Amino acid sequence: MGFERSCYHISTSYTKKNTWGYAKQDCLKRGADLVIINSKEEQTFINGLNDVSEAWIGLTDSVTEGTWKWVDGTPLTTPRFWASLQPNGGRGENCVLFGHWSSGQGTWHDYPCSYNSSWICEI
Protein backbone atom coordinates (compact mmCIF):
# COMPACT_ATOMS: atom_id res chain seq x y z
CA MET A 1 0.00 0.00 0.00
CA GLY A 2 1.26 3.46 -0.71
CA PHE A 3 0.84 7.03 0.47
CA GLU A 4 2.70 9.89 -1.19
CA ARG A 5 6.26 8.56 -1.64
CA SER A 6 6.08 5.80 0.98
CA CYS A 7 5.09 2.16 0.77
CA TYR A 8 3.78 0.24 3.76
CA HIS A 9 3.77 -3.36 4.93
CA ILE A 10 1.27 -4.38 7.61
CA SER A 11 1.82 -7.56 9.56
CA THR A 12 -1.27 -9.76 9.36
CA SER A 13 -3.08 -8.79 12.53
CA TYR A 14 -4.91 -12.08 12.95
CA THR A 15 -1.89 -14.36 12.68
CA LYS A 16 1.25 -12.37 13.35
CA LYS A 17 1.72 -10.34 16.51
CA ASN A 18 4.94 -9.71 18.37
CA THR A 19 6.95 -7.26 20.48
CA TRP A 20 8.08 -3.81 19.35
CA GLY A 21 11.69 -5.02 19.09
CA TYR A 22 10.70 -7.98 16.93
CA ALA A 23 8.56 -5.70 14.77
CA LYS A 24 11.47 -3.30 14.24
CA GLN A 25 13.78 -6.17 13.22
CA ASP A 26 11.16 -7.57 10.84
CA CYS A 27 10.85 -4.17 9.16
CA LEU A 28 14.64 -3.85 8.85
CA LYS A 29 14.81 -7.29 7.20
CA ARG A 30 12.37 -5.93 4.61
CA GLY A 31 14.55 -2.89 3.90
CA ALA A 32 12.13 -0.70 5.84
CA ASP A 33 11.57 0.50 9.41
CA LEU A 34 8.59 0.99 11.67
CA VAL A 35 6.35 3.75 10.33
CA ILE A 36 7.10 7.39 11.10
CA ILE A 37 3.93 9.47 10.95
CA ASN A 38 4.88 12.88 9.57
CA SER A 39 1.54 14.54 8.91
CA LYS A 40 -2.16 14.60 9.63
CA GLU A 41 -2.71 13.23 6.12
CA GLU A 42 -0.47 10.22 6.78
CA GLN A 43 -2.23 9.62 10.12
CA THR A 44 -5.59 9.72 8.29
CA PHE A 45 -4.29 7.29 5.64
CA ILE A 46 -3.15 4.80 8.30
CA ASN A 47 -6.41 5.29 10.19
CA GLY A 48 -8.25 4.17 7.05
CA LEU A 49 -6.40 0.87 6.71
CA ASN A 50 -8.94 -1.85 7.44
CA ASP A 51 -6.33 -4.36 8.61
CA VAL A 52 -5.16 -2.18 11.49
CA SER A 53 -7.01 -2.35 14.79
CA GLU A 54 -3.77 -1.76 16.67
CA ALA A 55 -0.17 -1.74 15.50
CA TRP A 56 3.31 -0.73 16.59
CA ILE A 57 4.65 2.50 15.09
CA GLY A 58 8.24 3.73 15.16
CA LEU A 59 8.05 5.95 18.24
CA THR A 60 9.74 5.26 21.59
CA ASP A 61 11.06 6.94 24.73
CA SER A 62 13.21 3.95 25.70
CA VAL A 63 16.45 5.98 25.75
CA THR A 64 15.17 8.84 27.96
CA GLU A 65 11.81 8.61 29.72
CA GLY A 66 9.43 11.24 28.38
CA THR A 67 11.62 12.15 25.38
CA TRP A 68 9.83 10.59 22.42
CA LYS A 69 11.92 9.86 19.34
CA TRP A 70 11.21 8.21 16.03
CA VAL A 71 13.22 5.18 14.92
CA ASP A 72 15.37 7.43 12.70
CA GLY A 73 16.43 9.41 15.80
CA THR A 74 14.36 12.53 15.14
CA PRO A 75 12.44 13.92 18.10
CA LEU A 76 8.65 13.95 18.12
CA THR A 77 7.50 17.47 17.41
CA THR A 78 4.17 17.98 15.67
CA PRO A 79 1.81 16.57 14.71
CA ARG A 80 0.95 14.40 17.69
CA PHE A 81 -2.00 12.07 17.79
CA TRP A 82 -2.05 10.91 21.40
CA ALA A 83 -5.29 9.59 22.84
CA SER A 84 -6.74 11.44 25.80
CA LEU A 85 -4.50 11.12 28.89
CA GLN A 86 -1.67 9.67 26.77
CA PRO A 87 1.18 9.26 27.06
CA ASN A 88 0.53 8.40 30.67
CA GLY A 89 4.09 7.38 31.50
CA GLY A 90 2.97 4.03 32.81
CA ARG A 91 5.65 1.78 34.18
CA GLY A 92 7.65 0.38 31.30
CA GLU A 93 5.41 1.94 28.65
CA ASN A 94 8.18 3.02 26.28
CA CYS A 95 6.77 2.12 22.87
CA VAL A 96 3.77 3.41 20.94
CA LEU A 97 0.74 1.62 19.56
CA PHE A 98 -1.49 3.15 16.93
CA GLY A 99 -4.99 1.87 17.52
CA HIS A 100 -8.72 2.21 17.13
CA TRP A 101 -10.02 2.37 20.66
CA SER A 102 -13.35 3.70 21.93
CA SER A 103 -13.24 6.86 19.81
CA GLY A 104 -13.11 4.89 16.57
CA GLN A 105 -10.31 7.16 15.40
CA GLY A 106 -6.71 6.08 15.26
CA THR A 107 -4.80 7.44 18.23
CA TRP A 108 -1.50 6.73 19.95
CA HIS A 109 -1.01 4.99 23.29
CA ASP A 110 2.25 4.36 25.11
CA TYR A 111 2.53 0.65 25.86
CA PRO A 112 5.06 -1.85 27.18
CA CYS A 113 7.42 -2.81 24.34
CA SER A 114 6.97 -6.46 25.35
CA TYR A 115 3.27 -6.43 24.36
CA ASN A 116 2.43 -8.53 21.29
CA SER A 117 0.80 -6.52 18.51
CA SER A 118 0.72 -6.13 14.75
CA TRP A 119 3.01 -3.52 13.20
CA ILE A 120 3.38 -1.21 10.24
CA CYS A 121 6.61 -0.93 8.24
CA GLU A 122 7.38 2.04 5.97
CA ILE A 123 9.78 2.19 3.06
- Tell me how many domains the chain contains: 1
Which range of residues forms the domain containing residue 28? 2-122
CA dihedral angle for residue 99, residue 101, residue 106, residue 107, rounded to 10 degrees = -80
pTM attached to this predicted model: 0.90
Cα dist from 42 to 2, 28, 32, whole Å: 10, 21, 17
Q: What is the CATH number of the domain that holds 28?
A: 3.10.100.10
Task: Give the three-class secondary structure for 2.
Answer: strand
Kindly give the confidence (pLDDT) of every residue in the chain, 123 residues in length, as a single tens digit, with 9 standing for 90 and above: 556 678 888 887 566 899 999 999 999 999 999 999 999 999 988 888 766 789 999 999 999 999 999 999 999 997 799 998 899 987 899 999 999 876 667 899 999 999 999 999 999
Burial (CB count <10 Å: 0-12, 13-18, 19+), residue 23: buried
